[in-house]
A and B are shown apart, each in its own frame.
Chain A
Amino acid sequence: MIEAELQTLNFDIRGQICPSALLTALRELNRHRPSLKKGTVRLQFLTDNRDATITIPGAANNMGYVVEVKKEDSYYLVIVSPNLN
Chain B
Amino acid sequence: MNNPQIILIACNLLLGLAAGFIMHRSDFCIAGMFRDLFLFRSTTMLKNLLLLILTSMILFEVARRSGLLFIFPFPLLGSASVTNLLGGCLFGIGMVLAGGCVVGTLYKFGAGSVTSAFTLLGLILGSFLYSEFHPWWAGLAKQTTIFSGRVTIPQILDVDPGVIVLIFAFVGAAWLVKEVRKSGLSRPAMIDNYLQPWKASLLLSVIGLLSFAAVGMPLGITTAYAKLGAFVVNSLGPEHVAKLGYFAGQPLNYNIPHLNLALRGGAGAQLDGIALVQFPLIGGIILGAFFSAMAAREFHLHFHVPARQYVSALCGGLIMGLAARMAPACNVWHLLGGLPILGAQSILFLVGLLPGAWLGTLVLTKTVLSR
Contacts from A to B (Cβ < 8 Å): 12, 14-20, 22-23, 27, 48, 50-51, 53-55, 57-58, 67, 69, 71, 73-76
CB-CB contacts of B193-208 with A at 8 A, as 1s and 0s?
0100000000000000
Chain A residues with Cβ below 8 Å from B99 are 17-18
Cβ distance A58 to chain B, nearest Cβ, rounded Å: 7
The distance in angstroms between the C-alpha atoms of A14 and B302, with both chains bound, is: 6
| B187 within 8 Å of A (CB atoms) | yes
Interface-forming stretch among B73-81, B236-244, B306-314? B306-314
Chain A residues with Cβ below 8 Å from B189 are 53-54
CB–CB A69/B299 < 8 A: no
Across chains A and B, the number of contacting residue pairs, with CB separation under 8 Å, is 78
CB–CB B191/A50 < 8 A: yes
Interface-forming stretch among B52-60, B108-116, B251-259? B108-116
CB–CB A17/B32 < 8 A: no
Cβ distance B189 to chain A, nearest Cβ, rounded Å: 6
Chain A residues with Cβ below 8 Å from B191 are 50, 53, 69, 71, 76
Chain A residues with Cβ below 8 Å from B298 are 48, 50, 74-75
Residue of B nearest to A76 (CB): B191
- Known contacts A20-B309, A57-B188, A69-B191, A15 near B29 by CB under 8 Å: no
Chain A residues with Cβ below 8 Å from B301 are 15
Chain A residues with Cβ below 8 Å from B32 are 18-19, 51
Chain B residues with Cβ below 8 Å from A19 are 32, 35-36, 39, 369
- Of A18, A23, A57, which contacts B365 at CB under 8 A? A23
The distance in angstroms between the C-alpha atoms of A69 and B189, with both chains bound, is: 10
Chain A residues with Cβ below 8 Å from B369 are 19-20, 23
The distance in angstroms between the C-alpha atoms of A81 and B51, with both chains bound, is: 36
| B178 within 8 Å of A (CB atoms) | no
Other A-B contacts than A15-B113, A17-B305, A20-B369, 7 sampled, CB-CB below 8 A, are A15-B114, A22-B40, A23-B365, A23-B369, A57-B190, A74-B297, A74-B298
Chain A residues with Cβ below 8 Å from B31 are 18
List B61-112 residues whose CB lies under 8 Å from chain A: 98-100, 112
The distance in angstroms between the C-alpha atoms of A51 and B114, with both chains bound, is: 17
Number of interface residues of B (CB under 8 A): 39
The distance in angstroms between the C-alpha atoms of A4 and B328, with both chains bound, is: 59
Residue of A nearest to B195 (CB): A50
Cβ distance B118 to chain A, nearest Cβ, rounded Å: 10
The distance in angstroms between the C-alpha atoms of A76 and B300, with both chains bound, is: 12
Chain B residues with Cβ below 8 Å from A23 are 365, 369
24 contacts between A and B (CB under 8 A): A14-B300, A14-B304, A15-B302, A15-B304, A16-B115, A16-B306, A16-B309, A17-B115, A17-B309, A17-B312, A18-B99, A23-B365, A27-B371, A48-B298, A50-B27, A50-B298, A51-B29, A53-B190, A69-B191, A71-B191, A71-B297, A75-B298, A75-B300, A76-B191
CB–CB B313/A17 < 8 A: yes
Chain A residues with Cβ below 8 Å from B302 are 14-15, 48
The distance in angstroms between the C-alpha atoms of A15 and B40, with both chains bound, is: 21
Cβ distance B216 to chain A, nearest Cβ, rounded Å: 33
CB–CB A54/B187 < 8 A: yes
The distance in angstroms between the C-alpha atoms of A56 and B20, with both chains bound, is: 24
CB–CB B305/A15 < 8 A: yes
Chain A residues with Cβ below 8 Å from B368 are 17
The distance in angstroms between the C-alpha atoms of A51 and B39, with both chains bound, is: 15
The distance in angstroms between the C-alpha atoms of A57 and B99, with both chains bound, is: 21
List B12-46 residues whose CB lies under 8 Å from chain A: 27, 29, 31-32, 35-36, 39-40
Chain A residues with Cβ below 8 Å from B299 are 74
Chain A residues with Cβ below 8 Å from B114 are 15
Residue of B nearest to A24 (CB): B369
